[in-house]
Amino acid sequence: MDLLRAPWVLGTVVVSAVWYWRGSRRPSLRAVGTASRPRVVPWRGLCFAAGLVAVLVALDSPVERLADDWFWAHMLQHVLLLMVAAPLLVLGAPWMPFWRPLPLGFRRRLARALVKSPSFGWLRRVARLIVTPVAAWLLFDVNLAVWHVPALYDLTLRNNGVHYAEHISFVLLGLLFWSQVLDSPPFHPRLNAFGRVIYTAAGSAASWLLAIVLTIATTPLYPAQSAGHKGGLSALGDQQLAAGVMLGPGSIPYAIVVFYWLYVWLGADDSGLRRRVAPRRSALGTGAR
């Protein structure tokens, strides 16, 4: 099986990279009511590029070939898409770079239709619902759990269309999930720093639960994956290694985000305390004089 097993993945990554580059190079529009232009942040482009690389490694590299035979490699794909590519793409803030290269007239007509047209009223209501933290959390975790139901998981190994649908859902709902805790201009999360800590910790619940189930199971849970083994590691050992991939490397992005926002929250609380204490000390000093 050759390296470029899915040329459409490489094509999508290349087109996305070029489109993002074009959109990032176009002169930024001034914000309404101001004379300043938004500042370009180079590291966001690097994050977006790293996210695309993660997608390519997951879906069009030897990892994809190994995933046919080994459950741990399949789980590594899921970790790369959900916990690596998705947050990096969100940090890349691709929304405006993807929007700017479109013709101005088309952008105006599309924006007017999406914002004002009665025909798209249902779409606006659905969008308002799914971008809420609770809905994003549920969609992300339920989607992960459903795709690991043995019957559906085995179907992804037999049907390429279902397999691609699984991976696309991981990327899209991963973007939705991580956009609730990572700033991605022009969109900003509704949650405060401590809310993001709780949300991210709770968001890892499905992956941790899945890892625990795979670890304590005494028999292989995925017959199709077990049948594809070519020797070496046993099916049960493969399953337990997959649990380790989800519980180990899969937990690192969650931990980074949790500790970052915990640090921000504690720093903000400490700053507020200093602001409250400073006037009291000033008043005491004035009274002493």
3-state SS assignment for residue 84? helix
Q: How far apart are the C-alpha atoms of 278 and 156, rounded to whole Å?
A: 61
DSSP 95: H
Q: How far apart are the C-alpha atoms of 79 and 71, rounded to whole Å?
A: 12
Q: What's the pLDDT at 283?
A: 46
Q: What's the pLDDT at 26?
A: 57
Structure-token pair, residue 25: 């190079």
Specify the pTM: 0.84
Q: What's the pLDDT at 77?
A: 94
What's the one-letter identity of residue 111? A
Long-range Cβ pairs for the range 190-193 (8 Å, 24+): 190/132, 190/133, 191/133, 192/265, 193/261, 193/262, 193/264, 193/265, 193/268
Q: What's the pLDDT at 2?
A: 45
Q: How far apart are the C-alpha atoms of 245 and 75, rounded to whole Å?
A: 7
Q: What's the pLDDT at 182?
A: 96
Q: What's the pLDDT at 264?
A: 93
Spans in the chain with pLDDT lower than 50:
1-3, 31, 273, 277-278, 281-284, 287-289
Q: What angle do CA 169, 55, 175 make, to 5 degrees?
A: 45
H-type helices in 148-251, by residue range?
150-158, 160-178, 193-203, 205-216, 223-227, 235-247
Q: What's the pLDDT at 207?
A: 87
